[in-house]
């Protein structure tokens, strides 16, 4: 953290005399990280809808690819990219044409928080990036301290229905489950996002199901599993749970509270 603070102080001084860096984000979670760091991108990807200001920005990427020519015309100082969703070939094309690209692919909460802190180098408000990262780190540590002694509760993290997908060990979602005293029943999968069957889920006897969605979707999921499996279905805002950005800590906070309601009353 000391090195981030020192770099932040240097950048604060430099920012007084230089124009704000021009940043483009190519995924919604990268847009959220940029805004958290005090950066207003000059362009973003489709589905960049948080914070509200992001909805007003030009979109230069979607599921079909990225607009290379338009990005070149915008003359960014840096493009923030995501290996899990941006086409490697087009990104390499940008790099060959002289565009600086920073890959941000956090697999853990610590990596996500470190990425936020590192964005201070592109922020006109570097101190905001440092402060935001520190706040997230404190939230993570508070949850870890409060829930780490809980007896692990077997959970099934469900994405989709037909087919069924889940998250395994090397994902932020799995870390959120562990942080809250849960035990991911598919953490031992050899792939990060395995497709699983109904029979496989039932055989592992989860005591709760976690989904990205709302209470109405939770009710539908509960019906889907009956009568073989009658367990609580915890619905968490889908963007909080699926995007590798700062709101992942909101997902963690809600999951912890829903898994251990008795702990809330003892705080």
SS3 assignment, position 174: helix
Q: Return all residues near 235 (Cβ < 8 A) that are at least 6 apart.
A: 211, 212, 213, 214, 215, 217, 218
Q: Return all residues near 62 (Cβ < 8 A) that are at least 6 apart.
A: 45, 46, 47
Element (DSSP H or E) covering residue 78: strand 78-81
CA 243 to CA 239: how far, in whole Å?
6
Measured CA to CA in angstroms, residue 176 lies from 64, 75, 80, 108, 246 at distances of 30, 37, 24, 9, 13
Q: Token pair for residue 115?
A: 């990425």
The answer to the question of whether 4 is labelled as a binding residue is no
Residue pair 37/11 in contact (Cβ under 8 Å)? The answer is: no
Please list the residues that pair with 23 across neighbouring strands. Answer: 78
Report residue 99: phi and psi, to 5°.
Answer: -85, 130
Q: Which residues are known binding-site members for cyanocob(III)alamin?
A: 47
Q: Which residues are known binding-site members?
A: 47
């Amino acid at each position: 953290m000391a090195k981030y603070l020192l770099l932040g102080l240097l950048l604060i001084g430099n920012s007084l005399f230089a124009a704000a860096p021009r940043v483009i984000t190519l995924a919604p979670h990268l847009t959220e990280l940029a805004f958290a760091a005090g950066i207003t991108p000059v362009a973003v990807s489709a589905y960049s809808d948080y914070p509200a200001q992001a909805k007003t920005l030009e979109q230069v990427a979607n599921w079909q690819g990225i607009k290379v020519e338009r990005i070149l015309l915008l003359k960014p100082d840096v493009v923030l990219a995501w290996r899990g969703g941006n086409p490697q070939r087009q990104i390499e094309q940008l790099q060959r044409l002289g565009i600086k690209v920073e890959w941000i692919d956090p697999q853990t909460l610590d990596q996500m928080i470190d990425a936020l802190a590192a964005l201070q180098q592109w922020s006109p408000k570097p101190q905001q990036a440092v402060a935001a990262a520190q706040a997230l780190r404190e939230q993570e540590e508070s949850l870890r301290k409060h829930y780490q002694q809980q007896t692990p509760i077997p959970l099934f993290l469900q994405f989709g229905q037909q087919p069924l997908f889940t998250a395994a060990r090397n994902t932020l979602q799995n870390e959120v489950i562990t942080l809250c005293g849960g035990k991911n029943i598919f953490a031992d999968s050899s792939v990060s996002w395995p497709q699983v069957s109904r029979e496989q889920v039932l055989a592992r006897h989860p005591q709760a199901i976690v989904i990205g969605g709302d209470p109405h979707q939770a009710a539908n999921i509960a019906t889907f599993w009956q009568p073989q499996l009658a367990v609580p279905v915890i619905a968490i805002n889908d963007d909080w749970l699926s995007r590798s950005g700062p709101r992942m800590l909101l997902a963690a906070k809600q999951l912890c509270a829903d898994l251990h309601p008795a702990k809330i009353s003892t705080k």
